[in-house]
């Protein structure tokens, strides 16, 4: 077939339109990613420390500096309660959350070594307004973040179930924390993490762009019938209500950041998949 000038012009016009539409789609996609740390203050967040009222942070556990959220930046002993800071604008069901984190190296060294290089991001969590005064942990799922201890393997991007339970490969997994397949990250290097959540049907964890864990059928329960969770039972507000919901699908909730040991977060963004 002999190409005419008119056909060549038409081809390039169609190509230009396609490229323009693709760029427009890419820009729209990027615009849908919502920055959760505004770089100025924590006005979009609600703090709930164990033993303190809402937005009472007497130990200044959460500090935002130049867009970096510093958690327990000055922790030197273990008397400060565990707590969380929750993004309070809305609850989320289907979403992707991506961020970078690092352990700062100023880790408190308790008798038990499990909290060292320890942090987490919670999701499908109960709201801080419904938590008991002494309650340190919400009913939730936790994207567990761990750093290496310069000996042995210690994967990050695990899942911990707090008053919840999940299925791995269509089988109910009774363990409180389930390890991912990620490598160990030593020191204070920045690590990229992402979580993809589809209500109660599917959750995927990613570390540095690589999928490391997948589970399904997120539910309320598990922790309520396990002796390992007796420590939260007495402090959870309306425990009987939660206990009666054992086995109920856990489809949505708040997003929060756990305060356990010194850790920093930056570039935290959320893509609400309900709005796509």
Number of neighbouring beta carbons within 10 Å of residue 14: 10
pLDDT at 146: 95
Tokens of 86: 């929750």
Q: Return d(Cα 146, Cα 159) in angstroms, integer.
A: 11
pLDDT at 110: 56
Helix %, strand %, coil % of the chain (to 5): 15, 40, 45
Taking alpha carbons only, the member of 85, 87, 106 closest to residue 95 is 87
pLDDT tens over the chain, length 276 residues: 555 655 544 555 445 545 555 554 454 455 599 999 988 899 999 999 989 999 999 888 999 998 999 998 666 565 667 899 999 879 999 999 999 999 986 665 555 556 678 899 999 999 999 999 989 899 999 999 999 988 889 999 999 999 899 999 999 998 889 999 999 999 899 999 999 999 999 999 999 999 999 999 999 987 544 444 555 666 788 888 888 898 999 999 999 999 988 899 999 999 999 976
Is residue 92 left, alpha or beta, with left meaning phi > 0 and alpha meaning psi from -120 to 50?
A: beta
């Amino acid at each position: 077939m002999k190409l005419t000038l008119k056909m060549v012009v038409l081809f390039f016009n169609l190509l230009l339109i396609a490229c323009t539409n693709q760029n427009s789609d890419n820009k729209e996609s990027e615009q849908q990613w919502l920055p959760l740390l505004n770089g100025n203050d924590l006005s979009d967040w609600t703090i709930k420390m164990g033993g303190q009222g809402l937005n009472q942070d007497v130990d200044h556990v959460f500090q935002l500096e130049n867009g970096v959220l510093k958690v327990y930046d000055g922790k030197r002993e273990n008397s400060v309660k565990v707590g969380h800071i929750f993004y309070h604008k809305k609850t989320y069901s289907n979403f992707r959350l991506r961020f970078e984190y690092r352990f700062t190296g100023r880790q408190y060294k308790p008798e038990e070594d499990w909290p060292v290089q320890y942090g987490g991001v919670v999701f499908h969590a109960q709201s801080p307004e419904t938590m008991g005064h002494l309650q340190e942990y919400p009913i939730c799922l936790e994207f567990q973040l761990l750093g290496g201890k310069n000996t042995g393997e210690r994967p990050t991007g695990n899942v911990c179930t707090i008053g919840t339970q999940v299925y791995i490969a269509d089988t109910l997994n009774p363990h409180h924390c389930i390890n991912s397949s990620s490598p160990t990250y030593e020191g204070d290097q920045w690590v990229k993490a992402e979580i993809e959540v589809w209500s109660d049907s599917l959750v995927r964890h990613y570390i540095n762009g690589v999928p490391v864990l997948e589970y399904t059928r997120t539910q309320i329960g598990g922790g309520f019938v396990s002796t390992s969770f007796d420590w939260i039972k007495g402090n959870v507000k309306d425990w009987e209500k939660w206990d009666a919901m054992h086995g109920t699908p856990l489809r949505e909730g708040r997003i929060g950041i756990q305060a356990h040991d010194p850790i920093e977060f930056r570039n935290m963004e959320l893509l609400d998949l309900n709005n796509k």
